[in-house]
Amino acid sequence: MSQISVNVRLRPLRLGFLVRPNDRRGLLRIFQVNTCLWGGLFNPIIPCFERVPQWWDRNGFRFETGREILNGYIDSFEPDVLVEAEPGLATDSGFDTNRVVQIANVLPKEGDRDRVACGMSVFEIYHHLYKTEFQFTRRHPQTIVDVTSRTRPMKALSACLFGAFPDNAELAYFHRAFTDAFDSTAKALDAETLLDIYKTRPHTALSIGMSEINVDPHSREDPALFVFDAKVPFDLLDYWNLRAFGRRILPVPLQWLAPSHSIPSR
C-alpha cells in the first residue's frame, strides 16, 4: 500500500494597522491589540498622511503623496487585512474593501470568545503552553516578566517594546489569562529595568505571542542599535516596523541613553 505524507505549514494572518503618525492614543491601542494576537509582533503599522510632511524621506527619496507612502508599506509587508485605527484611513489605498476592518472588531470581547474575529488570539496559545509546559515544575524555570510603565509618557514605549494589554473591561480577560497561565514577575519600566531585561532576556507578553512560530529573517544585516525619542509616536512606529520586517535591532531610548551605555551585544 502506497503512503502519502503531507506537511502543513501555517502562518498567522498578517494585519496591517493604519494610523495617523501623531495619534499617540491610537498607536498605544495598536500595540495592545497586537499583544493579544498570535504573531502580532509581525503586523506592520502603516502611517497615513493627508500631506507628506517636510521631515519625511527614506534614504534621500521623497514621496509626492501620502497615498504613495501608504501603498509602499502595503507592497513591502503584503498584509492580508487592513485595520483602521479610525474610519476612512484605507479609503485611498485601493485595497479590497472586504478586507478592511475597524480596530474595535479585531479581538473578541469577553463572553463572545467563540466569535471568529480577525486572526488568532493568544488565548489559545496561552492554553496550549500551559497544558504542555507551564503546569509542570520545570528543572530550569523560564523567566516571564509583565512590564508596565512607571509614568504615563512612557506607557507607549513599554507597550511597543514588551507588549501591553487593553485597558477596557471587555478585553481584560487577556491579561487575566496571561497571569493565570504564567508565573510572571511584574516589572516597572525605567532605565535600570530596561538594561536588566536586555541582559537577562526574559519572555514578555509580546514575545509569548510569538510561540510556535519559526522565523526565517529576511535581513542578513549585522545587528544595530536604534536610538530614538521614546516620546515621539513616529519613532515608536518606525522601530516596530523595522523589527516586524526582520531587522535585528536593539532599541535605545534617548531619554535613557546614558544609563544604557553598557547594553550587551546580541
pLDDT tens digits, 102-142: 999 999 888 776 665 788 889 889 988 888 887 766 666 67
> Above 60 in pLDDT, residue 162?
yes
> Above 90 in pLDDT, residue 38?
yes
Write down the pTM of the prediction. 0.88
Give residues with Cβ within 8 angstroms of 255, minimum separation 6: 191, 229, 230, 231
Give the DSSP H/E element, type plus range, for residue 149. strand 145-149
Q: What would the DSSP string read from start to end of 64-82?
A: SSHHHHHHHHHHHH--SEE
Count the Cβ atoms, other than its own, within 10 Å of residue 1: 2
Binning pLDDT at 50, 70 and 90, where does residue 150 land? confident
Q: What is the pLDDT, as a whole number, of residue 140?
A: 62
- Listed range (31-45, 141-155, 164-178, 184-198) with the worst mean pLDDT: 141-155
Residue pair 64/42 in contact by the 8 Å Cβ criterion: no
Domain boundaries, the chain: 15-260
Residue pair 85/17 in contact by the 8 Å Cβ criterion: yes
> Above 50 in pLDDT, residue 260?
no
Query: 3-class DSSP state for residue 236?
Result: helix
- Listed range (59-68, 158-167, 250-259) with the worst mean pLDDT: 59-68
